[in-house]
Amino acid sequence: MIKLIKSLALLVLLTACATQQTVHRSWPEGAPSLAYFEQIYAEDLRNQQEQTLDEYLVWVKRYYEGWELYRRGWLDVTQDLVVQIENPQVAQEVDTKMYAVGRAIAGEWAKKTNTRKIFTRHVAIWGNALVESMNRDEELKLIDIVQNDVNRLLADTLPVDAITADRYYAPDEDDVFSW
């Protein structure tokens, strides 16, 4: 029995090492540096009690690349926005602003649920609003609004329940799926 427990413990340790090496070796191209997120993690002592650095970094990667439950990551969303903009200067500005707002969101969203201020619901609302902003040619305006809301959430000056879909765009009265 003790041999089995030792073997299982060794397997868990090896898996953890492999996960860490995988996270570090396959950091998403186009995402902020690994060092940036390691610093965010290091500054949050409360989250460190709930989540390891490796767990945190896995969630950062999922945010940027997508994963099984949500296949489109922030890098995909950014690319979708940028490629549909004809003006190269505006496209560059959208890309730069999406990088900044994405970095702020990812740094907080990747934390353990009971320690964070940005939740999956927020990310989904912002993603849907970004799609709507493309239809209205209002990408830059919306990105600025989202960045302001993210900053306020992180500063505890905006309640988490203030982030709703109708904060960004009024519901479409012709949409049979909206309530």
Radius of gyration of the chain from Cα atoms?
A: 19
H/E stretch holding 8 reads helix 2-25
Instruction: For 3-57, write each residue's pLDDT tens digit.
Output: 544 544 455 455 545 444 556 679 999 999 999 999 999 999 999 999 999 999 9
Q: What is the pLDDT of residues 128-146, one digit of tens each?
A: 999 999 999 999 999 999 9
pLDDT at 171: 85
Rounded to the nearest integer, the mean pLDDT of the chain is 88
- Report the C-alpha gap between 29 and 69 in whole angstroms: 21
Helices (H), ranges, 29-171 = 34-43, 45-50, 53-65, 74-83, 88-109, 120-136, 139-154
Please report the pLDDT score of residue 111 as a whole number. 99
Residue type, 100: A
